[in-house]
Structure 1
């Protein structure tokens, strides 16, 4: 085959390869989860393992220490955080009938007098009865689901198998991470290896800034909001703090949603008292700490994603690939942003852009 034919067939080969990879991902989606999560653990643990190697530990010993720390964090989360979330959800559900009474007696008259909304348009009694009935139904549904899982032995075994595969995949990927990356780079033609290495390093900075920075910011905000609301005396402090921290993945969204939820819960619990002012102070302090300390130190300006792009990436990832898509949406979007910046620079240096 002549050089001209090789050059002509090259774009076709690339398109076929991309289509084949997409087809494989679409058909292997049910089994991809443990490998993606394991790769995520390996990616996050590699810098720590490298530092432990630099102080004299073997790679295997460094990987074992990383995994012990990860397992300890997961165990603490399961033992402390999950029961607290379940308790807070139960408290919230117990408040719902009283919240409806409060809305009917306080909020709806104000809406009626100021905005012309009639109280009769909302049948609070029926809503209250539906909540009580559905709570019992929800408990029954959960029992049926658990019973179904127990009866569906094959599905339950598959779930446990996928769960057990995650640490195994993560361990071996973390142990051989540097070797895998080096071999993957050497698969490329020699003239592209240096440019690919530099581009991968830039993408790693962006993705690392997200995982190792933004997730720390979200965790810190959840703790700040939850602890601050707990000091105020709000009964749903932990649940609202966790919700606001997770929503902080989009800048300012967590604070906006969190303060609305906290103000509503506070108005119901305390009335229109000075506690509402303290709730505002909690979120004000949290935002000040985030903007002046957490984000500049932990994240910086490496991610470079507009808030609208963040929202679109999460929604698009969930729509296309479900939970896996949500999990990898922002890192993939950050990498795409890096590639687009380089493509834009290449375009501005091209003859198409510079010719008169």
Structure 2
């Protein structure tokens, strides 16, 4: 069901554009065609430009990890000189030994992941063909499909119809809002990292953009690699401080400006409830569970 669920979500993303075009007296068939062409163009740009660039930078980052690990070891050894009663050189060596072991397991995991992907190339190709086709028919035959689904329901359904109308609007607005947030945060982060000269800007921009899918936890997790790469590239200094300030401003604007604008009608949930929703629905349905947790 993964291609179907993915296609439904992507169709929701494009439905808002179709409604805007129809409101401007564009014929429905033309509105659907324009929306689908935009979707296909964006789909293949992400597939053949963004993802390969991010994967290439991730490979380069993995090759640089041993050097970064050595630099980190030298930093930790300073602690033994300043605080000999708390940290010993033997402790530092043991920590680095564990880090190297984890790094080796990560390398094996990446190799096995690549081999598994090669074995599933045929399935991936089917997925890439199937999703655009499903999106096209979900957009083109929306009313026909809805009428077909309604045929399985009772003829008198006032409460169900009311719930459907409310949920349809809420789901569509949330999915489109979350996609816009990912695009804006990821693009601004990428451009900011490029302007600062930060290495692996595309990979980090992609991670920062996707981190908004998981509130609180995503931003906290992505902050660590951003700052670590900045430190290993520049060390403590003006460049690192600038990166920290710029990244903090992006996160602040996202949480205090962009999210209220995009989700002004969203339910105001306590942070504990949001974290529990991430853990529960993410455990059930992975990324899509985190994406649709508030619906």
Cα deviations across residues 19-60 of structure 1 (Å, max 9, x unaligned)? Answer: xxxxxxxxxxxxx12222222222222232233334444433
Whether 1:166 and 2:131 are equivalent positions in the alignment is: yes
Partner of 2:41: 72
Contact 1:225–1:286 under 8 Å retained in 2: yes
Q: CA deviation at 1:276?
A: 2.1
Partner of 1:287: 251
Q: In the TM superposition, what are the counterparts of 1:38-53 in structure 2 within 5 Å?
A: 38-53=7-22
Q: CA deviation at 1:272?
A: 1.2
Partner of 2:261: 297
Rounded to whole Å, the distance in 2 between the matches of 1:187 and 1:79 is 41
Contact 1:218–1:245 under 8 Å retained in 2: yes
Q: CA deviation at 1:129?
A: 8.2
Partner of 2:157: 192
SS of match in other structure, 2:294: helix
SS of match in other structure, 1:334: coil
Q: CA deviation at 1:141?
A: 4.2
After TM superposition, where is structure 1 displaced by more than 6 Å over at least 4 residues in a row?
A: none
Q: CA deviation at 1:64?
A: 2.1
Contact 1:37–1:166 under 8 Å retained in 2: yes
Q: CA deviation at 1:328?
A: 4.5
Whether 1:90 and 2:59 are equivalent positions in the alignment is: yes
Whether 1:334 and 2:272 are equivalent positions in the alignment is: no
Rounded to whole Å, the distance in 1 between the matches of 2:117 and 2:209 is 30
Rounded to whole Å, the distance in 1 between the matches of 2:167 and 2:80 is 51
Rounded to whole Å, the distance in 2 between the matches of 1:279 and 1:145 is 37
Partner of 2:74: 105
Q: 2:89 aligns with which of 99, 119, 132?
A: 119
Whether 1:35 and 2:7 are equivalent positions in the alignment is: no
Query: Which fold has the larger relative contact order, with Cα–Cα distance below 8 Å and residues 6 or more apart in sequence?
Result: 2
Cα deviations across residues 249-284 of structure 1 (Å, max 9, x unaligned)? Answer: 233444433433222222222121111221121123
Q: CA deviation at 1:102?
A: 1.7
Q: CA RMSD in A?
A: 3.2
Bigger mean CA deviation after superposition, 105-114 or 42-51? 105-114
Q: 2:202 aligns with which of 226, 238, 247?
A: 238
Q: CA deviation at 1:288?
A: 3.5
Give TM-score, length-normalised by structure 2: 0.82
Work out the number of aligned pairs and report it: 292
Partner of 1:63: 32
SS of match in other structure, 2:243: helix
Unaligned 5+ runs, structure 1: 1-31, 150-154, 336-356
Cα deviations across residues 145-188 of structure 1 (Å, max 9, x unaligned)? Answer: 466x2xxxxx6545433432222222222212134335545754
Rounded to whole Å, the distance in 2 between the matches of 1:169 and 1:290 is 32
Unaligned 5+ runs, structure 2: none
Q: Evaluate the alpha carbon distance shift between residue 170 and residue 93 of structure 1 in structure 2; reply closer, same or farther with a 3 A threshold.
A: same
Rounded to whole Å, the distance in 2 between the matches of 1:185 and 1:304 is 32
Whether 1:178 and 2:143 are equivalent positions in the alignment is: yes
Partner of 1:220: 184
Q: CA deviation at 1:119?
A: 3.1
Q: CA deviation at 1:244?
A: 2.4
Whether 1:278 and 2:242 are equivalent positions in the alignment is: yes
